[in-house]
Chains A and B, each alone.
Chain A
Amino acid sequence: MKKITTFLIVGCIIFLISCAKDKDLNKFLSIEIPAGFPQPVYQFTNNQPTQKGFDLGRMLFYDQGLSKDGTVSCGDCHQQFAGFGNLDHATSHGVDNCFGKRNAPVLFNLTFKDNFFLDGGVTNLELAPLNAMTDPCEMANDLNKILVYLKSKPEYQQAFQKAFDSDEITSQKMFRALAQFQGMMISADSKYDQVKAKTAQFTDQELRGYQLFSAKCASCHKEPLFSDNSFRNNGLDITSLDLGRSTITSLASDDGKFKVPTLRNVEVSRPYMHDGRFKTLEQVLDHYQNNIKPNKNLDPLLKQDLALTDTYKADIIAFLKTLTDLTFLKNPKYSEE
């Protein structure tokens, strides 16, 4: 009798524990908006993140099987240590040795953006991966083939079932899981953030750099996201070979304009510019000081002399390095399992 009672009690406890664990996995994950950040644009409407949805998103993100020939995953060109940009690749290396025409953008703080890619062509976080999945120079696949692949894999059947309480695998669920994973990527724990939270202090040089940055750079690279999400021409070429924003809007006044990139984690996400032409931050600042070209759509703010002396440049770079967020760059929850 005693044995049976003990057995029952132990059984109940195990049951309760496993239940609780399962409940945890189904619980909505909270999305913490860092202090000073704006309200998210992507609100996770009808797509409340859960641990299981997030896990499925991560599984998809790192799966090369989503590409045409099984060789390229999202994570191959969006590397965590590079702020989910593509380190040392001016443009990304897709299937069949094809190189795309633009530098892979970093991926974090995406829920705060109202459009994606350097030309802003995609307007909803859920559909951003579609571009890479189907672009002939990236993953070059067909959505129908991706769905056949996912449906054929027992691990996906299981993961979709867990994430969405249904055994039906659809592209909408795939995109929503990816949006959960990518939307939860928040980078807001750099030294800069710690200084703002008064838990760290800038060095003298970093502080000088911050003051210079605020005066000369921050109107476009606006805090706290370090981008104002606008499209501008920054005088790289007299005539831009890549029309950028105007490929989307069909407006000549947008020719050669590109999205102002965030500068968070900029230290680790080289090379720079839409075509990755600059390998170092020094080259970038040299461009702004000496090489601005009179493009017809050159941003008015760049028509003045920024007066960046070598000392100023060094100070600004010291400040930019305080935007590196190691907590984010090394966070195992975003890494391939």
Chain B
Amino acid sequence: MKKLLLMVAIAAVAFMSCKKEDAGEITGSGTLNFEFENVVGNQPLVLTTQNYTNTKGESYKVDMFKYYVSNIQLLKADGSIYNVPESYFLIDQSDASTLKPSLSNLPAGDYTKISYTIGVDSARNFAGAQTGVLAPEKAMFWSWNSGYVFVKMEGTSPTSTAANHNLIFHIGGASATVNAIRKVSFNIDPNILRIRTDKSPIIHFKADVAAMFNGKQNISFATYNSMHGGLPALIIADNYAQGMFSLDHIHN
């Protein structure tokens, strides 16, 4: 009987320690799926046909909306950071296949915060000919002033004084004098992003075109309608750093 008790005790201890290990150490690797839903304010983004209105009351249409999301960082509750290597997304509203990228081989774990760069890190801007989404034929690279266009919005507005009432906002710059690199962070709390070998959560972001033109500085298309990098582009970068991206929800 004593023996039996001892065995039960040992079994219980073993069981408990087992359980403890399960809770503390999540091993293996998994996949994180992203969804980028492009919107204008509280309306869905519809290219070329839909009229929108900026904060100055000026009507506009969007013909093109493309942007880089890169250098994704995942943070755990304990403060440890995982920098996802080679994480570069090019999201293009006109190409549905780009709207749901994913990252695989991420260490399984419970993550409470995610950050990324809107655009491309300085090093890659100057590193020579690249491949994949960073290849220059993606038309997001300036040939005459080396570097990536981080966010590209084109459209029209009756208010625009440019030829054909065009809106051309090519925002970028990674040099000492014009640095448009902006980083954004999102707390996942109180929810938790659970990446497991057998669980691939979905993280759903909204990207608001309108946030390029309001926030830190509300702009009029009579004043700004054509940008190809340079100092004025920083006005837009500061705007979109504030409010373009929002973490809408996650599915664990």
Question: In this complex, which of B126, B129, B137 has the most chain A Cβ atoms within 10 angstroms of its Cβ?
Answer: B129
CB distance from A328 to the nearest CB of B (A): 25
Give CA–CA (A172, B32) in the complex, Å: 29
CB distance from B146 to the nearest CB of A (A): 5
A251 at the interface (CB under 8 A from B): yes
- Interface size for A (C-beta < 8 A) is 30
A122 at the interface (CB under 8 A from B): yes
Give CA–CA (A144, B137) in the complex, Å: 6
B136 proximity list for chain A (CB < 8 A): 127, 130, 143, 171
A214 at the interface (CB under 8 A from B): no
CB proximity to A under 8 Å, residues B136-158? 136-137, 139, 141, 143-146
Give CA–CA (A130, B137) in the complex, Å: 10
B178 at the interface (CB under 8 A from A): yes
Give CA–CA (A276, B139) in the complex, Å: 31
Give CA–CA (A122, B230) in the complex, Å: 15
Across the interface, do B135 and A126 meet the contact criterion of CB distance under 8 Å? no
CB proximity to A under 8 Å, residues B120-143? 126-131, 135-137, 139, 141, 143
Across the interface, do B135 and A171 meet the contact criterion of CB distance under 8 Å? yes
Across the interface, do A124 and B146 meet the contact criterion of CB distance under 8 Å? yes
B49 at the interface (CB under 8 A from A): no
1/0 per residue, CB under 8 A from B, across A129-143: the answer is 011011100000011
Across the interface, do A170 and B135 meet the contact criterion of CB distance under 8 Å? yes
B175 proximity list for chain A (CB < 8 A): 248-249
Give CA–CA (A126, B131) in the complex, Å: 13
A313 at the interface (CB under 8 A from B): no
B184 at the interface (CB under 8 A from A): no
B106 at the interface (CB under 8 A from A): no
A251 proximity list for chain B (CB < 8 A): 177
Across the interface, do B143 and A135 meet the contact criterion of CB distance under 8 Å? yes
Give CA–CA (A121, B145) in the complex, Å: 4
A172-B141 in contact given A250-B177, A250-B230 (Cβ < 8 Å): no
A125 at the interface (CB under 8 A from B): yes
Across the interface, do A130 and B141 meet the contact criterion of CB distance under 8 Å? yes
A158 proximity list for chain B (CB < 8 A): none
Give CA–CA (A172, B136) in the complex, Å: 9
B141 proximity list for chain A (CB < 8 A): 127, 130
A14 proximity list for chain B (CB < 8 A): none
CB proximity to B under 8 Å, residues A101-131? 117, 121-127, 130-131
- Interface size for B (C-beta < 8 A) is 20
Please classify the interface of chain B as helix (H, G, I), strand (E, B), loop, or mixed, using the class held by over half of its residues: loop
A127 proximity list for chain B (CB < 8 A): 128-129, 136, 141, 143, 146
B64 at the interface (CB under 8 A from A): no
A175-B128 in contact given A130-B136, A147-B137, A250-B231 (Cβ < 8 Å): yes
B178 proximity list for chain A (CB < 8 A): 249-250
A130-B143 in contact given A171-B136, A250-B177 (Cβ < 8 Å): yes
| Contact partner, A124, options B127, B144, B231, Cβ 8 Å | B127
B130 proximity list for chain A (CB < 8 A): 172
| Contact partner, B145, options A134, A176, A247, Cβ 8 Å | A247
CB distance from A288 to the nearest CB of B (A): 29
CB distance from B9 to the nearest CB of A (A): 61
CB proximity to A under 8 Å, residues B141-186? 141, 143-146, 175, 177-178
Across the interface, do B131 and A123 meet the contact criterion of CB distance under 8 Å? no
Across the interface, do A131 and B144 meet the contact criterion of CB distance under 8 Å? yes
CB distance from B232 to the nearest CB of A (A): 9
A125-B128 in contact given A143-B137, A250-B177 (Cβ < 8 Å): yes
B128 proximity list for chain A (CB < 8 A): 47, 124-127, 175-176, 179
Across the interface, do A171 and B145 meet the contact criterion of CB distance under 8 Å? no
Question: In this complex, which of B131, B135, B143, B231 has the most chain A Cβ atoms within 10 angstroms of its Cβ?
Answer: B143
Across the interface, do B143 and A131 meet the contact criterion of CB distance under 8 Å? yes
CB distance from A176 to the nearest CB of B (A): 6
CB distance from A279 to the nearest CB of B (A): 27
Across the interface, do B126 and A123 meet the contact criterion of CB distance under 8 Å? yes
Give CA–CA (A135, B136) in the complex, Å: 14
A170-B131 in contact given A127-B136, A249-B178 (Cβ < 8 Å): yes
Give CA–CA (A172, B145) in the complex, Å: 18
Give CA–CA (A175, B177) in the complex, Å: 27
The 6 closest A-B pairs by CB, nearest first: A175-B129, A143-B137, A126-B128, A172-B129, A121-B145, A124-B128
What are 27 A-B pairs at a CB distance below 8 A? Answer: A121-B146, A122-B143, A124-B127, A124-B129, A124-B146, A127-B143, A127-B146, A131-B144, A134-B143, A135-B143, A143-B139, A144-B137, A171-B131, A171-B135, A171-B137, A172-B129, A176-B128, A176-B129, A179-B128, A248-B145, A248-B175, A249-B175, A249-B177, A250-B177, A250-B230, A250-B231, A251-B177
